[in-house]
Amino acid sequence: KSEGRGRACIFVPEDEQRTLHRVNIESMIRESLLEGHFELHYQPVVSMGHQMIVGAEALVRLRHPERGLMAPGEFIDIAEETGLIVQLGEWVLEEGLRQLSIWHREHASAIYLSINVSGKQLQDYRFVRTLENLLSRYRIRPGYLILEITESMLMHHTDHTLEVMNRLKRLGCLLSIDDFGTGYSSLSYLQKFPLDILKIDRSFVTDIESNKTHRALVTAIITMSRSLNLRVICEGIETAQQMEILKGMRCQMGQGYHFSKPLPAHQFTTQYLPGSYQ
Ligand code: C2E
Ligand code: CA
Ligand code: CA
Ligand code: CA
């Protein structure tokens, strides 16, 4: 008994602290949605052959008046747990498509936009309709939108998720499996879902110079993707050497600090889309 009480003294405050933290972040997310404190940063996706920009991935940030710029690691899990990700995800979609329409129209650019979508959003029956409305409002051809869904989300899919993905596919959007290689999903997943792109997780790229197993795995994934007609993006490329190795493996597209960090919209525009028809 006394031991139990002693343990309770250690665990309860920690538990309370965690709950408090959660509640704080939750109300911060709610408030930020109302006050417009979220913003998107964009990381270029380049073709490995010519190192030309072909697309951008939208990554959400929270610009908090007191705490400064917060990365998704600080709030995305809590948004997910509380279901606020549905509302936040809708904001991300709208803001991303609004920006993409400016790039397409005013900069005569034809880049793709990748947007991260959570499993909760895919379970929401309004998702496809919302997306359809946004695409028509901003006059974007669906083929320029890539929806990224993590491998672990796909592993917890339901029949409904698959149905939504099939509808998104019929709409003409491109579907990408994110963080591939980390979820131990079976290869049958690649045929079960209507996928267009496979994104190899950063953890395989980070040590590609020194890790033979990772080199073999990445080579195998790229070869397999070709025969399944999937395009491949390698993420987390930080050095020229990593880029050369992946290029040698015939990886088509890459992303990472070697090319650029995620940038605020205005900076992305001036750096990557200089031509303006304004
Ligand atoms: P992710 O989708 O795997 O995004 C890639 C993450 O790696 C980003 O972190 C990016 O800034 C970082 N990164 C890019 N290049 C490099 C590199 O060369 N080296 C290293 N070390 N890191 C690199 P970020 O922006 O902090 O986002 C973290 C995660 O949060 C994302 O992982 C994604 O799962 C989630 N996320 C971000 N935005 C959204 C969103 O709008 N909706 C949802 N549902 N999730 C989001
Ligand atoms: Ca992603
Ligand atoms: Ca990823
Ligand atoms: Ca990730």
Q: Are 252 and 48 in contact (CB under 8 A)?
A: yes
> Looking at residues 162-169, what average pLDDT do you find?
94
Q: Tokens for 123, please give them.
A: 């379970």
Q: What is the pLDDT of residues 108-141, one digit of tens each?
A: 789 999 999 999 999 887 999 999 999 999 999 9
Query: Cβ of 65: how many Cβ atoms within 10 Å?
Result: 9
pLDDT tens readout for residues 28-40: 999 999 999 999 9
CA–centroid distance, 179 to ligand 3, in Å, is 4
What does pTM read for this prediction? 0.94
Residue 118 CA, closest ligand 1 atom number: 44
Which listed ligand is nearest to 76 at the C-alpha?
1
Return the ligand 1 atom nearest residue 258 CA. 18
Amino acid type, 184: Y
Instruction: List C-alpha distances in Å: 270 to 43, 103, 115, 274.
Output: 13, 11, 21, 5
ipTM, two decimals, is: 0.98
Residue 104 pLDDT exceeds 80: yes
Q: Using only C-alpha atoms, what is the Rg of the chain? A: 20
Ligand nearest to the CA of 119: 1
Instruction: Enumerate residues lining ligand 1, CB below 6 A.
Output: 43, 59-60, 71-73, 76, 85, 89, 92, 116, 118, 178-179, 202, 235-238, 255-257, 262
- With both helix axes pointing from N to C terminus, report the angle between 85-106 and 127-137 in degrees, rounded to the nearest 10: 20
Residue in 180, 224, 176, 175 with CA at minimum distance from that of residue 205: 180
Q: Ligand 2 centre and the CA of 57: distance in Å?
A: 7
